[in-house]
Amino acid sequence: MDVLDDALRVIASLNDHQVDYAVVGGVALNVHGIVRATEDLDLFVRPDADNIARLRAALKQVWSDPDIDQITADDLCGDYPAVRYGPPEGTLYLDILTRLGERTAYADLQVEAKSIGGVVVQVASPLSLYRMKKDTVRPIDHSDAAALRAAFALEDE
């Protein structure tokens, strides 16, 4: 299996468990037709305890891993709202976020539903992705922002 196949398994399970999420990062760019290599699935999730519980249930459907229980609402709704999860098999890592500092929160994202390989993916809109990436310090984000701007005729605000 490749990263996209693994990501689609996770996304299908998130949908099955009615998790409120949005795919961001490299996978989101690919969903929008901008090809970029990635080894992880970046997810924004709605920051409440019930949604985080559904997230854990969804991940347990994909991987039988007791470490999933360490993904908690206390972490994702607290001061450091990001968790990296590496499953026991495969090469896909998950970066799970509820906000990026004060800049972007789950509630700030415009989300679109796209179908990939028969799986409905809740993905951040090109404009949301552009806003997230355009002013960071990472060179890859600058490249992503430029690609989004060109592909979707986005304007600086």
The DSSP secondary structure of 129-150, one letter per residue, reads HHHHHTTSS-HHHHHHHHHHHH
Structural domain contains residue 55: yes
Structural domain contains residue 41: yes
**How do residues 133-151 score in pLDDT, each as one tens digit?**
998 999 999 999 999 999 9
- What are the phi and psi torsion angles at 66 (to 5°)? -65, -20
Residues 40-58 have a mean pLDDT of 97
Residues 48-61 have a mean pLDDT of 97
Burial of 61 (0-12, 13-18, 19+ CB in 10 A): middle
The tally of domains found in the chain comes to: 1
pLDDT at 43: 98
Can you give the residue range of the structural domain that contains 8?
3-145
Structural domain contains residue 102: yes
Structural domain contains residue 151: no
pTM over 0.85: yes
Structural domain contains residue 154: no
Q: What whole-number distance in Å separates Cα of residue 130 and Cα of residue 145?
A: 5
**How do residues 55-96 score in pLDDT, each as one tens digit?**
999 999 999 999 999 999 999 998 889 999 999 988 899 999
Structural domain contains residue 93: yes
Q: What whole-number distance in Å separates Cα of residue 121 and Cα of residue 6?
A: 13
Structural domain contains residue 133: yes
The CATH number covering residue 127 comes to: 3.30.460.40
> Whose CA is closest to 22, among 85, 113, 139, 100?
113
Structural domain contains residue 98: yes
Q: What is the token pair recorded at 2? A: 């490749």
